[in-house]
């Protein structure tokens, strides 16, 4: 809400890139491509979430079963929120 010109994109390799669509540079302002611990499978969904008195964060969920919160305060940093486990149907 605060920065509607900032958009986030996820790809099939688990990478997240954040772009400033107001700027003239076509390169992302931040990306997870070279971060250890980033998603390892396709990004299913990204959503900006506002936390009281802490600003906006990006939440991602991926085919690797992980839900991650991303912050751009000091570059692109992440915190793993949850790991979903796939259970097989016994039938």
Rounded CA separation 80/78 (Å) = 7
| Digit-coded pLDDT (tens) for 49-85 | 998 888 889 999 999 999 999 998 888 999 999 999 8
Q: Are the beta carbons of 20 and 29 closer than 8 angstroms?
A: yes
Which has the closest alpha carbon to 59: 51, 72, 43, 70? 70
Q: How far is CA 72 from CA 8, 86, 87, in A?
A: 12, 30, 34
pTM of the predicted protein model: 0.85
Q: How many residues does the chain have?
A: 91
């Amino acid at each position: 809400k605060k920065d509607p010109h900032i958009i986030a994109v996820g790809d099939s390799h688990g990478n997240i890139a954040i772009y400033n669509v107001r700027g003239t540079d076509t390169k992302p302002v931040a990306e997870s491509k070279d971060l250890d611990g980033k998603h390892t499978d396709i990004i299913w969904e990204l959503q900006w979430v506002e936390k009281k008195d802490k600003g906006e964060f990006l939440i991602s969920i991926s085919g690797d079963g992980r839900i991650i919160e991303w912050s751009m305060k000091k570059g692109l940093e992440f915190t793993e929120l949850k790991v979903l486990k796939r259970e097989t149907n016994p039938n």
